[in-house]
């Protein structure tokens, strides 16, 4: 298939806010793909190439000024092969190799095709066709049950392979996709509740509290651990493998009384008194390529497989029972209760221990991989949201010479207030920035600069930052009609992608609340 057909499809998808229309356009393209084109095309449509990191930044493509082809001729497989060569360039001379490869690709592409290629490389397609929309399109094109396609993608962690199997395999092959020790699973996600009491009552249809698991909510990094004998693999929230970076977690898991196990949890570093260090300390250690002095400690709150028994479809009560037998001191502190007073008391205990708050989980719910539902609710005393930095202003006074005031954007998946999949500005802040954070962002943001205005350096919307607020207020200044109140930086979240950011619809919901 020609790349131009993806260009036409992505333009059509971006032009409509209708989910059904997006699904129909994408399904039409998917039906016409050859088997070996499916995985690359899925990567292109998600702006997440199957090759992973390509070693190409904004400046590498922005500075190219070449004549493009007049007529489309590039195929999906030719672009995929070029990305293979970009990803494989390494060592001395790799910069020149990548530059030559990009120039060759740019010359073969029409201007429209090159625009698409650049957005794919930089991860900024923004058509409003997020993963869920694309999975529905796969189901429609393959005439498979949407639930079966979603489950296969969640359990395999690979949308491209799921699409290939759905489009070219049998129903039995798709249904056979299950848990596999050593292959990461999309993590279950949580919604938000105002208090532990609200969470307990929210699980019952009649509004009366029901028994739930109330657990510490750490300000750490999400991990998923797979063990098969002495073979241990550790994955991040985004399913990137970091086993070689966390030898202490590997050793801790090898010491557990299990041969084959999949565990879900969090990790953070502790200070000398055993209290949690700031999230930035954990991420500095978490992201290090070499072992550092700060030791990561794991806490596990769920178990998906144990010694030949899949637990993902069993209720949380059964999973916690199995977890208790395996995790020992590494189990996340928690209680099971239907008493709001005890739940609130436990929430205060978590805060006193230096943690963010609590997670309240429905005791009868299965593990819904990849979904943000109402079975898990996070309760934190301060409202915090993951937003994306859109621009940054130079500092003044003691911050002269540094980049300080952040322009913050919320995700707009359907394009209700702008471009589908884009970001809507909701406020600014320079509060909460430590000297170390100021130094970091002063070095970081010029590397992803798109342009400069009279007041700010504008950047690619790829940097996620956790912001604490006291609430929101109506605003005629910002396109989403909402502005943050008393926003301050809690810390950057390199473990999260821009598409993981909170939405403008979520923030607008605070107005109604």
301 marked as part of a ligand binding site: yes
Q: Is 14 helix (H, G, I), strand (E, B) or coil?
A: helix
Q: How far apart are CA 53 and CA 449, in angstroms?
A: 19
Q: How far apart are CA 73 and CA 412, in angstroms?
A: 34
- pLDDT value, residue 109: 93
pLDDT in tens, 150-182: 999 989 888 999 999 999 999 999 999 989 999
The fold of 383-512 is OB fold (Dihydrolipoamide Acetyltransferase, E2P) (2.40.50)
215 marked as part of a ligand binding site: yes
222 marked as part of a ligand binding site: yes
372 marked as part of a ligand binding site: yes
* Residue 74, token pair as written in the block: 């590039």
- pLDDT value, residue 512: 65
pLDDT in tens, 342-355: 999 999 999 888 88
* Residue 220, token pair as written in the block: 């750490």
Identical fold at 189-379 and 383-512? no
Exposure string (b/e) for 202-213, b if CB count within 10 Å is 16 or more? Answer: bbeeeeebebbb
Catalytic hit among 217, 380, 428, 490: 217
Q: What is the pTM of this model?
A: 0.74
Other Cβ atoms closer than 10 A to 52: 10
237 marked as part of a ligand binding site: yes
Residues of the chain falling short of pLDDT 70: 62-63, 126-129, 205, 207, 272-274, 278-280, 285-294, 370-372, 512-513
Is 361 one of the annotated active-site residues of the chain? no
- pLDDT value, residue 471: 82
The domains of the chain are located at 3-175, 189-379, 383-512
172 marked as part of a ligand binding site: no
User: Domain 189-379 carries which CATH code?
Assistant: 3.30.470.30
Q: How far apart are CA 284 and CA 402, in angstroms?
A: 21
266 marked as part of a ligand binding site: yes
Supply the DSSP symbol for 68.
P
Residues 6+ apart with CB under 8 A from 338: 200, 209, 210, 211, 212
C-alpha closest to that of 227 among 194, 198, 190, 264:
264
- pLDDT value, residue 288: 60
The fold of 3-175 is DNA ligase i, domain 1 (1.10.3260)
- pLDDT value, residue 162: 94
C-alpha closest to that of 137 among 23, 40, 34:
23
């Amino acid at each position: 298939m020609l790349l131009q057909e993806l260009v036409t499809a992505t333009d059509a998808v971006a032009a409509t806010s209708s989910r059904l229309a997006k699904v129909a356009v994408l399904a039409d393209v998917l039906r016409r793909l050859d088997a070996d084109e499916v995985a690359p095309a899925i990567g292109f449509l998600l702006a997440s190439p199957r090759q992973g990191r390509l070693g190409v930044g904004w400046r590498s493509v922005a500075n190219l000024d070449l004549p493009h082809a007049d007529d489309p001729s590039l195929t999906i497989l030719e672009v995929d092969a070029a990305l293979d060569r970009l990803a494989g360039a390494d060592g001395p001379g790799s910069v020149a190799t990548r530059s030559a490869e990009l120039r060759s690709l740019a010359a073969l592409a029409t201007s429209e095709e090159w625009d698409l290629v650049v957005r794919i490389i930089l991860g900024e397609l923004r058509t409003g066709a997020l993963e869920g929309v694309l999975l529905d399109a796969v189901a429609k094109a393959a005439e498979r049950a949407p639930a079966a396609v979603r489950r296969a993608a969640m359990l395999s962690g690979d949308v491209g392979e799921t699409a290939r199997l759905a489009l070219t395999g049998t129903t039995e092959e798709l249904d056979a996709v299950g848990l596999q020790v050593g292959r990461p699973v999309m993590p279950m996600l949580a919604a938000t509740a105002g208090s532990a009491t609200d969470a307990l009552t929210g699980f019952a249809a009649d509004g009366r509290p029901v028994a739930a698991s109330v657990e510490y909510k750490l300000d750490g990094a999400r991990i998923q651990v797979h063990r098969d004998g002495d073979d241990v693999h550790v994955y991040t929230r985004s399913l990137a493998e970091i086993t070689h970076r966390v030898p202490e977690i590997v050793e801790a898991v090898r010491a557990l009384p299990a041969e084959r196990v999949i565990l879900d949890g969090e990790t953070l570093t502790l200070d000398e008194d055993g209290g949690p260090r700031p999230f930035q300390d954990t991420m500095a250690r978490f992201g290090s390529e070499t072992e550092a002095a700060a030791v990561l400690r794991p806490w596990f709150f769920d178990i998906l497989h144990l010694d030949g028994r899949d637990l993902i479809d069993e209720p949380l009560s059964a999973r916690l029972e199995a977890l208790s037998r395996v995790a020992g001191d590494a189990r996340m502190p928690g209680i099971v209760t239907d008493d709001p007073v005890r739940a609130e008391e436990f929430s205060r205990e978590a805060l006193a221990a230096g943690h963010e708050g609590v997670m309240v989980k429905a005791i009868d719910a299965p593990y819904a991989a990849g979904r943000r539902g109402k079975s898990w609710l996070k309760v934190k005393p301060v409202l915090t949201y993951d937003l994306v930095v859109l621009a940054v202003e130079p500092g003044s006074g003691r911050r002269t010479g540094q980049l300080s005031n952040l322009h913050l954007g919320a995700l707009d998946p359907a394009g209700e207030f702008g471009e589908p999949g884009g970001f809507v500005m909701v406020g600014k802040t320079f509060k909460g920035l430590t000297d170390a954070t100021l130094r970091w962002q002063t070095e970081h943001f010029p590397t992803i600069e798109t342009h400069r205005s009279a007041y700010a350096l504008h950047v690619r919307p790829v940097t996620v930052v956790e912001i604490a607020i006291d609430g929101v207020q109506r605003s005629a200044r910002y396109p989403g009609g909402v502005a943050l109140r008393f926003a301050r930086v809690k810390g950057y979240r390199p473990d999260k992608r821009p598409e993981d950011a909170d939405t403008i619809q979520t923030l607008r919901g605070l107005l109604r609340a």
